[in-house]
Amino acid sequence: MAREAWGRWGAEDEVGAPNLIGPEQVRLAASLVRTGQVMSLSQPISVRTPVPKHRAGAMHFMGRDGGDYAAGAKRPGGFQFAEDTVVLPLHLGTHIDALCHAWCDDHLYNGFPGATVRSTTGALRCGIDKMKPLVTRGVLLDIVRLRGTVAAPGDVIGRAELEAATAGAGVTLRQGDAVLIRTGWLESQTARDVDFNAEPGIDVEAALWLASRDVAMIGADNFAIETLPFPASTVFPVHQRLIRDHGIPLLEGMVLRPLAEAGGTAFLFVVTPLPVVGGTGSPVAPVAVL
Amino acid sequence: MAREAWGRWGAEDEVGAPNLIGPEQVRLAASLVRTGQVMSLSQPISVRTPVPKHRAGAMHFMGRDGGDYAAGAKRPGGFQFAEDTVVLPLHLGTHIDALCHAWCDDHLYNGFPGATVRSTTGALRCGIDKMKPLVTRGVLLDIVRLRGTVAAPGDVIGRAELEAATAGAGVTLRQGDAVLIRTGWLESQTARDVDFNAEPGIDVEAALWLASRDVAMIGADNFAIETLPFPASTVFPVHQRLIRDHGIPLLEGMVLRPLAEAGGTAFLFVVTPLPVVGGTGSPVAPVAVL
Amino acid sequence: MAREAWGRWGAEDEVGAPNLIGPEQVRLAASLVRTGQVMSLSQPISVRTPVPKHRAGAMHFMGRDGGDYAAGAKRPGGFQFAEDTVVLPLHLGTHIDALCHAWCDDHLYNGFPGATVRSTTGALRCGIDKMKPLVTRGVLLDIVRLRGTVAAPGDVIGRAELEAATAGAGVTLRQGDAVLIRTGWLESQTARDVDFNAEPGIDVEAALWLASRDVAMIGADNFAIETLPFPASTVFPVHQRLIRDHGIPLLEGMVLRPLAEAGGTAFLFVVTPLPVVGGTGSPVAPVAVL
Amino acid sequence: MAREAWGRWGAEDEVGAPNLIGPEQVRLAASLVRTGQVMSLSQPISVRTPVPKHRAGAMHFMGRDGGDYAAGAKRPGGFQFAEDTVVLPLHLGTHIDALCHAWCDDHLYNGFPGATVRSTTGALRCGIDKMKPLVTRGVLLDIVRLRGTVAAPGDVIGRAELEAATAGAGVTLRQGDAVLIRTGWLESQTARDVDFNAEPGIDVEAALWLASRDVAMIGADNFAIETLPFPASTVFPVHQRLIRDHGIPLLEGMVLRPLAEAGGTAFLFVVTPLPVVGGTGSPVAPVAVL
């Protein structure tokens, strides 16, 4: 494969496309704030957060709570408190994929061996702890508005539609942008059992077009950015090309309808992954500031 | 106790002092961006993240990794991936306390019964899922710079020192500010076994002074914002007053030395807790944008 | 309610009916060994172990495995090893209920307050750590053989059927027996999604008859020993009567078909719960020795 | 290395030395019951169960408890219950090592590739789910009684001492025996922080002598059966020889003092690992029946 971004930021780089966000991009993003409205773009995290059938969901345990005091627990100095622990799959809900999350041919982004990702150490290369907090311009590509309806499961969103949505947003993509694609998938899920095997998403050509615009990150309101089922004989082809070859992190499971309804098109965007050492991703709570 | 903020934002309010951040404060914060430098203020999360002896640390498990492919795992369509799960105490490392984390007299902030925080449901009131993402002005109060040295374990940082540090930062505290206090504690920890029972921190008078300035949040580079050991006959008195009576969330375990060394005094500050439904807090990766 | 066994073994007793197993019962049980065949009566434990929809299943994580060595992990002194961790709900698969698992009227077996079971401590009273390892005579009551077919979901197995099955086994129930009831439920489950809301099981009258025989424990090959759905206006009535009032632990989710097919009727039975301090139950791997 | 037991029970065997327990051994074991006294040989499991510093301990979370009812939780039909979940490292406390736990030269017992032990599947070969429940004669080799004192950390217990202890027990080792070695280590641990790097234990010669006696399992009251620190240039040499080459499972962390004080020397011994699919071991609650 092409491996377009390998070596682009040096042989030891583990950051990838977020390198495209420099101080200039940050300043520009901050200058976009108009109303001061802060939009949260994340799903709540709970035992009910939808997950594919083959994956475990989150667990949430209270180690101490108000019930314990009701049952007679002591309160030294009057102090009462509650604390808790989660068992948290890192690719749950609204989450970002680190560059070590997906690869092929036994090599990660920038040529690091897949064998550097191990049970005992986590990812020695390209872990989520190597990803910078992202502060940049966010651009919403609203396919729902473009189509006048939500995209259906299995729908392919191609380059032309992305270009049309970009024009519809009144913006030109710039280096370092975080592109957020609203397909309508997540907002369409009403059943308790979500079908993760069929969703609308972009294809490889659309993905490569975004990469060619030097975007820093691609997010969407679906499970995998790309369309499912995959084209014949391929498995997560967009993941392979974007994450491995272009070093572009993906931000999946976003909540984008309220942002669209608030009229967000280009805005200050901030997402700060938890720096889990050697982690392959992180649940996140990204925000758009209008 | 005084319960100063109860009812201030309505009888049903579960947000507290972050309500003090309105669009005006957000716009002001964005306007502070000068250089575009983004500073991460969080500790890495791993099995080695220091925790008090009575608490469990984090665990990190790889569900699939490069070793599995080295051992012969199939790669349909060439696709390879890694995924992982953490067991994550929510008050680990750099984390924010939700308003349901600490209380007294069986009532949380705004008068909600402590009994609304249960094993089966988590916190029905004032959970971390009720906290807004915070985008506001951050102000660094650098006690280390003020003193010319790191504060010692047990040191009390009083109102006068906070006022002096504010003056030293060249700012006047304003409604909605996020105040970040650098005591030097975390940056002084070099031993593997960190002593969480003695640390420098603020006292109640200093805390109430900050509250009187209408700050939205208080953070620090120590374990508990307040000094440990506690004054005689008290247990976490600052927690009780700030969280319960003033509705001010606390952000503990911050990494502040690099921010101080970069000259950060007043800046765009963003912290976005994970919206764990009913959670009592969240590990976070806050950022300052200079 | 009747609370028949409260005080029977003293005001501080936390063991309950297993007290009925004395040295005499143990010796008798050992004397039953004829062929020396050891039958395992437990389900395998894995992420696929069926659980009700409202409960989380098990997770299994490898902390180190052969893949890591394939990926290049060091092997000091030639030594290689693997280790792992489970997230294990204690009422998963084949498991025993401690006497603190179920109660009513705010009081556990023997009158201990329900408030002694807390988040911070687990069960201070009647935890699984208080249960003795059980070595006693097991008696298989084979309803499938009696009926000539598996009992259907919702079927009630009453006292008369238990008496008939006892006669069919050629035994008279004795003090300290572990009674194992084969309904055919578990062996009938072939779908991936098991319906835990309808199953054959005993009713309260049958349960009380067993209690009147001074049995030490009751097990079955279903989810809850008792029939589901419950009789109108009741919720787990057999649990309330047996566990709370009679101090009889229940052993659910047993694999009994192979034992039946091997001709087991009365045999040496051993079940040894994990002594989780304050735990409300334990997965177990009980055995019958023929 | 010698790989003495490879192929002994067939090329596909994953059971190893427990194959040496046949019906005859079971019948013999049952016939040893004299008094009917049941001795538990396991440590309690809790967050305080000692673990080496490099390993995580257990966690125990209540999902529902009496505090929740004290705080007002509903009790449909009067029913109240508590349930809980553990995060349980499988080599914690009193536990048995599966034959996939330790190996060398990239091959497990009986020649299975180490690469069959993976993150995604657990151990496809020689997992704890392949181990039979063990019902056999237990023999206590009481080094503490032999020496008149507990063995010191680092002490080597050699073949001669094992032979003397066997004579002291008045028994001759037989095929299928479970040998339990009391070094006195665990009963000597009184500090909160247990030192797992120095303990008394057997050496390779002693281990091979036990293997030559066709024992089915070896247990001890220490962390690793074998002495620590290891002889120069070796790492867990007894594990490599016994587990990999002889297929003998090890049972570590046993509580043996009460058994010794009760006069147990040869007895009915039962240990039933949890059948965790692909697991490398299991916490257990073994019993001796006198």
pLDDT in tens, C83-122: 999 999 999 999 999 999 999 999 999 999 999 999 999 9
Could C87 and D86 be called an inter-chain contact, meaning their C-beta atoms sit closer than 8 Å?
yes
What gap in Å lies between CA A134 and CA A141, rounded to an integer?
19
Averaged pLDDT, D52-57: 86
What gap in Å lies between CA D175 and CA D182, rounded to an integer?
20
Of D148, D149, D141, whose CA–CA distance to D169 is shortest?
A: D141
- The 3-state DSSP class for residue D190 equals coil
First to last CA, chain B: 39
Residue B22 contacts by C-beta under 8 Å, 6 or more apart in sequence? Answer: A36, B176
- The 3-state DSSP class for residue A35 equals coil
Which residue of C118, C125, C193 is the best one to mutate when testing the A interface, meaning the one whose CB has the most A CBs within 10 A? C118
By Cβ distance, the residue of C62, C118, C119 closest to A119 is C62
Cβ atoms within 10 Å, residue B114: 27
Confidence of residue A247 (pLDDT cuts 50, 70, 90): very high
pTM over 0.95: yes
Q: Give chain B's largest Cα–Cα span.
A: 66
Chains touching chain C, criterion 3+ CB pairs below 8 Å:
A, B, D
Contacts with B191 from chain D: Cβ below 8 Å: none
Query: Per this entry, what is the length of chain D?
Result: 290
By Cβ distance, the residue of C86, C105, C287 closest to D78 is C105
Averaged pLDDT, D157-177: 97
Amino acid A110: pLDDT: 98
Q: Which residues of D touch A (CB under 8 A)?
A: 59, 61-63, 65-73, 85, 87, 119
Nearest C-alpha in D relative to B114: D71
In percent, the amount of chain D with pLDDT more than 70 equals 100
What gap in Å lies between CA A282 and CA B154, rounded to an integer?
36
Amino acid A1: pLDDT: 56
Amino acid B27: pLDDT: 98
By Cβ distance, the residue of D62, D63, D289 closest to C135 is D289
Span D210-227, pLDDT tens digits: 999 999 999 999 999 999
Which residue of B46, B62, B85, B86 is the best one to mutate when testing the C interface, meaning the one whose CB has the most C CBs within 10 A? B62
Amino acid C1: pLDDT: 56
Lookup: tokens for D122: 């657990």
A91 pLDDT more than 70: yes
Do C258 and C83 touch, CB atoms closer than 8 A? no
- The 3-state DSSP class for residue B276 equals strand
Edge-to-edge strands, sheet with B83-89:
A59-64, A83-89, B83-89, B59-64
**Phi, psi at C268, each rounded to 5°:** -70, 125
Instruction: Find the radius of gyration of the CA atoms of chain D.
Output: 20
Do A67 and A82 touch, CB atoms closer than 8 A? no
D51 pLDDT more than 70: yes
**Phi, psi at D257, each rounded to 5°:** -60, -45
Span A128-141, pLDDT tens digits: 999 989 999 999 99
3-state helix, strand, coil in chain B (%, to 5): 25, 25, 50
Lookup: tokens for D48: 């305080």
Lookup: tokens for C269: 């039975």
Averaged pLDDT, C194-220: 97
What gap in Å lies between CA B116 and CA B131, rounded to an integer?
17
Amino acid A193: pLDDT: 80
Could A65 and D70 be called an inter-chain contact, meaning their C-beta atoms sit closer than 8 Å?
no
Q: Which residues of D touch B (CB under 8 A)?
A: 47, 56-57, 59, 62-65, 67-68, 70-73, 87, 114-120
D2 pLDDT more than 90: no
Of C70, C248, A53, whose CA–CA distance to B69 is shortest?
A: C70
Span C212-228, pLDDT tens digits: 999 999 999 999 999 99
Contacts with D128 from chain C: Cβ below 8 Å: none
Confidence of residue B192 (pLDDT cuts 50, 70, 90): confident
C261 pLDDT more than 60: yes
Do C66 and D113 touch, CB atoms closer than 8 A? yes
Could D66 and A71 be called an inter-chain contact, meaning their C-beta atoms sit closer than 8 Å?
yes
Which residue of D46, D55, D68, D118 is the best one to mutate when testing the A interface, meaning the one whose CB has the most A CBs within 10 A? D68
What DSSP string runs through D152-185?
PTT-EE-HHHHHHHHHHHT----TT-EEEEE-SH
Q: Name A102's bridge partners.
A: B81
Place of tokens 């696929």: C48
A121 pLDDT more than 60: yes
Contacts with D121 from chain A: Cβ below 8 Å: none
A153 pLDDT more than 60: yes
Write out the E strands in B10-150.
38-40, 59-64, 80-81, 83-89, 95-97, 102-103, 117-118, 122-123, 134-142
Q: Give chain D's largest Cα–Cα span.
A: 66
In percent, the amount of chain B with pLDDT more than 90 equals 96
For chain B, give the mean pLDDT. Answer: 97
Averaged pLDDT, D43-69: 94
Closest approach of D70 to chain C, Cα-based (Å)? 7
Amino acid A238: pLDDT: 98
A203 pLDDT more than 60: yes
Element (H, E) at D248: none
Nearest C-alpha in B relative to D72: B115
Amino acid A285: pLDDT: 98
What gap in Å lies between CA A72 and CA C85, rounded to an integer?
33
Q: Name D201's bridge partners.
A: D156
A266 pLDDT more than 90: yes
Could D67 and A70 be called an inter-chain contact, meaning their C-beta atoms sit closer than 8 Å?
yes
Span A10-29, pLDDT tens digits: 999 999 999 999 999 999 99
Contacts with A59 from chain D: Cβ below 8 Å: 85
Prediction ipTM score: 0.97
Span B38-87, pLDDT tens digits: 999 999 999 999 999 878 899 999 999 999 999 999 999 999 999 999 99
For chain D, give the mean pLDDT. Answer: 97
Strand-pair category, D250-252 with D80-81? unpaired
Place of tokens 């690992």: D273
Nearest C-alpha in D relative to A120: D119
Could D67 and A63 be called an inter-chain contact, meaning their C-beta atoms sit closer than 8 Å?
no
Confidence of residue D191 (pLDDT cuts 50, 70, 90): confident
Span C36-93, pLDDT tens digits: 999 999 999 999 999 998 788 999 999 999 999 999 999 999 999 999 999 999 999 9
Do B97 and B134 touch, CB atoms closer than 8 A? no
D8 pLDDT more than 90: yes
What DSSP designation does D115 have?
A: G
Amino acid A190: pLDDT: 85
Amino acid B1: pLDDT: 56
Do A177 and A137 touch, CB atoms closer than 8 A? yes
Cβ atoms within 10 Å, residue C49: 20
Element (H, E) at A95: strand A95-97
Closest approach of B98 to chain D, Cα-based (Å)? 20
Amino acid D192: pLDDT: 72
Which residue of D84, D88, D128, D137 is the best one to mutate when testing the C interface, meaning the one whose CB has the most C CBs within 10 A? D84
- The 3-state DSSP class for residue A241 equals helix
- The 3-state DSSP class for residue A87 equals strand
Could D61 and A65 be called an inter-chain contact, meaning their C-beta atoms sit closer than 8 Å?
no
Closest approach of C51 to chain A, Cα-based (Å)? 13
Averaged pLDDT, B167-178: 97
Amino acid A222: pLDDT: 97
Contacts with D59 from chain B: Cβ below 8 Å: 56, 87
In percent, the amount of chain A with pLDDT more than 90 equals 96
